[in-house]
A = this chain, B = another copy of it.
Amino acid sequence: MSEQILKGLRDRDPRGIARAISLVEENDPLADEILASLDDSLVDQAMVLGITGPPGAGKSTLTDRIISKYRSQGKRVGVIAVDPSSPLSGGAILGDRIRMMGHALDQDVVVRSMATRGRLGGLCAAAGAAVRILAGSGCSPIIIETVGVGQSEMDIIRLADITALVLAPGLGDDIQAMKAGLLEVADLLIVNKADCAGAETLAMDMESIAREGSGKEKDSAKVCMTVASEGKGIDDLLAAIETVDASHRESGERKARREKAYDLEVLDWAIEMIKPSIIKKIEEGGLDRKGDPRMQAVKLLEKE
């Protein structure tokens, strides 16, 4: 069993890779062996690209086009699709999205979906492990696609070397409200649906907000215009990604982000490992559920 999985991973068989990711996610005893078997230099070298943005901006279509372009360059692409829907009813949705991508039969596009609800494990820990496994089996870039809302979902973006924020004109007020938070994490701004009314205004808005704030290099506040549904602007986007990547490697920014991400993953794993013992204590401790939960937590930890 163990040998078979490790062989699948070595052979870069998508099913073997999927199985390996699942085992690590489930905290299986084989997890350590799987992670230890990976080629660290591949993990170090792979480019991890975060694609985030509000619902309706066209992230999936854009991701699809980016995958196709990297494939045409002969690159093996990993995708981690972080899905806010539930694991119970979300299967179909995730499936649809992947089918929509049209790369189902391509052995060199390895797609991994991660539901964020109903998880036992930490999302960061699991996604971090998936990035390592995908990188270790020869994928680069590895694209993390996530809707730009939610605490854990945003933490995931910190695993990326480069983050692109996708927006589109006409998404409404609530969505505009999310932008400010998202802008802070973005190295590249993408105005998708650039053929729609309001795209130019949005691009100018984004440019000025990005120029004002964030203490980031001015150069990184680049806005790319795309029409993902027609494949327009993808070449420019990939060139812009390459420029940012080169600049981050040169400046040490890439190394600094990797170190932060590493520490974040260690923290997330440590919490995951501690959590079951706390849950066990809560279940066995017969909480009287009187008074405030904070005090109960103090009492619980004192029992150690």
Binding site for B on A (CB under 8 A): 24, 31-32, 35-36, 38, 40, 54-56, 60, 83-86, 88-90, 92-93, 97, 116-117, 119, 123, 125, 128-129, 132, 147, 149-154, 171-175, 177-178, 180-181, 183-184, 213, 258-259, 262-263, 265-267, 269-275, 278-279, 282, 287, 289-298, 300-301
Cβ of B267 and Cβ of A275 under 8 Å apart?
A: yes
A92 to chain B: which residues have CB within 8 Å? 180
Cβ of A269 and Cβ of B287 under 8 Å apart?
A: no
Cβ of B90 and Cβ of A180 under 8 Å apart?
A: yes
A177 to chain B: which residues have CB within 8 Å? 55, 83, 85, 93, 97
- Give the residue name and chain of the B residue nearest to A56 (CB): B172
Cβ of A181 and Cβ of B89 under 8 Å apart?
A: yes
Taking a contact as CB atoms closer than 8 A, the residue among B31, B117, B296 that contacts A294 in the complex is: B31
- Give the residue name and chain of the B residue nearest to A150 (CB): B150
Taking a contact as CB atoms closer than 8 A, the residue among B150, B184, B287 that contacts A89 in the complex is: B184
Q: How far is the CB of A70 from chain B (nearest CB, A)?
A: 23
Taking a contact as CB atoms closer than 8 A, the residue among B32, B86, B119, B181 that contacts A295 in the complex is: B32
Please give the count of copies of this chain that the complex contains: 2
Cβ of A151 and Cβ of B151 under 8 Å apart?
A: yes
Taking a contact as CB atoms closer than 8 A, the residue among B150, B267, B287, B291 that contacts A263 in the complex is: B287
Cβ of B154 and Cβ of A117 under 8 Å apart?
A: yes
- Give the residue name and chain of the B residue nearest to A298 (CB): B273
Q: Give the distance in Å from the alpha carbon of A274 to the alpha carbon of B268 in the complex.
A: 12
Q: Give the distance in Å from the alpha carbon of A292 to the alpha carbon of B90 in the complex.
A: 30
Q: How far is the CB of A75 from chain B (nearest CB, A)?
A: 24
Q: How far is the CB of A33 from chain B (nearest CB, A)?
A: 11
Cβ of B184 and Cβ of A88 under 8 Å apart?
A: yes
Cβ of A292 and Cβ of B55 under 8 Å apart?
A: no
Cβ of A152 and Cβ of B149 under 8 Å apart?
A: no
A38 to chain B: which residues have CB within 8 Å? 292
Taking a contact as CB atoms closer than 8 A, the residue among B54, B150, B287, B301 that contacts A273 in the complex is: B301
Q: Give the distance in Å from the alpha carbon of A269 to the alpha carbon of B128 in the complex.
A: 25
Known: A150-B84, A180-B85. A271 touches B275 (CB 8 A): yes
A152 to chain B: which residues have CB within 8 Å? 150-152
Cβ of B151 and Cβ of A119 under 8 Å apart?
A: yes
Known: A24-B294, A151-B150, A278-B267. A174 touches B86 (CB 8 A): no
Taking a contact as CB atoms closer than 8 A, the residue among B35, B213, B259, B270 that contacts A289 in the complex is: B259
- Give the residue name and chain of the B residue nearest to A270 (CB): B297
Q: Give the distance in Å from the alpha carbon of A183 to the alpha carbon of B86 in the complex.
A: 10
